[in-house]
Amino acid sequence: MHTGRSYKLSEFLMWTRRNIFWLLILGIIPTALYQLFALKWLAIPFTVVALLGTATAFIVGFRNQETYNRTWEARQIWGATMSDSRSWAIMCRDFLADGDRSRELIYRHLAWLTSLRYQLRTARNWENLTKAYNQEFTQYYSIPEKESPLEQELIKYIPSSEVNHILSTRNKATQLLSMQSITLKKLHQEGAIDEFKFLDMHNALMNFSGHQGKSERIKNFPYPRQHVTINGIFVKLFCFLLPFGLLQEFDKLNEGMTGFLQGKMVWLVIPFSILISWVFTSLEQVGESTENPFEGGANDVPISQMSRTLEIDIREMLSETDLPSLLESRNNIIL
């Protein structure tokens, strides 16, 4: 997540510079052939390009709206998870007379949050973080889940015996919820919590399971590939044809032009075709960067920061003073 007012233009140009390079080549070749070698037949009616551009604008706009919706839904899910986690900590602290048992349930919940965010940061084949321009941009920010192994983080919250068991399972977050449920059952059987408190706490676990399932749905179901494919084809086709459609339009400007620019207006096809095409390719790249809100990209939902803030809040509820520090942003980006 970017925490500043906006990205710097220099950052954005660096991120999209590969597109600019190819757009420059696409603009130079037809313009040079048209102007220097008099291949006037290369020009195509601008109406054709305009119609294609209109269709491309619609499909690019649709994709950006839908990918934003995915990110916003992910943010809502994790906002609800944070709220329910605070409620869970209060119930564990106040429903149980035994402070050690309360701390056990609370710390295992922090382990669940940790396991869940590590699972959500695991790469999928369809994600975009491995693309060159995204991989290159990761040098400007930190991905906490890539800096330390899961085992090292879990040992802070649960005994080593539980850590070894959890690491041997496939869905580690689910197994931690299962362990929480087993502990609640034992507490109820021992009479440490009554029926009503048991039901409240068990319902809270069901809510956490629901939040996890919603997060996994976004993580494990990509933005439909058919939409991604047709979007890419439309944008590339439009960018390829645009210089050919602008040739005659700029050539006509020579009729009313005198002086140095007379007869040379066609060369303006290069900068203007780059500018217009860059708008489309950048919109496509922005949509791509928001379609997977847990992959570790610069525009992800900041689940690491949210989890760290929650941990500090909860441990302060337990009157602890040896607290972890808040995560700091790098270049106004924090995950």
Write out pLDDT tens, residues 163-217. 999 999 999 999 999 999 999 999 999 999 999 999 999 999 999 999 999 999 9
Tell me the per-residue pLDDT of 259-309, one tens digit each, with 9 for 90 and over.
Answer: 666 768 899 999 999 999 999 999 999 999 999 999 999 999 999 999 999
pLDDT digits (tens, 9 = 90+) for 77-108: 999 999 999 999 999 999 999 999 999 999 99
Per residue in 23-45, pLDDT (tens digit) is: 999 999 999 999 999 899 999 99
Rounded to the nearest angstrom, the gap between the alpha carbon of residue 137 and the centroid of all alpha carbons in its chain is: 13
Model pLDDT, residue 251: 87
Do 232 and 59 contact (CB within 8 A), yes or no? no
Residue 5 has pLDDT above 70, yes or no: yes
249 contact partners, CB below 8 Å, separation of at least 6: 46
What type of residue is 112? W
41-57 burial, b at 16+ Cβ within 10 Å, e below that, comes to ebbbebeebeebbeebb
Nearest Cα neighbor of 113 from 183, 44, 177 is 177
Q: Which residues pair with 2 in a beta bridge?
A: 333
Amino acid 12: pLDDT:
86
DSSP class per residue in 12-60: HHHHTHHHHHHHHHHHHHHHHHHHHS--GGG---HHHHHHHHHHHHHHH
Average pLDDT of span 124-153: 92
Regarding pTM above 0.85, the answer is yes
CA–CA gap between residue 293 and residue 71 (Å, rounded): 5
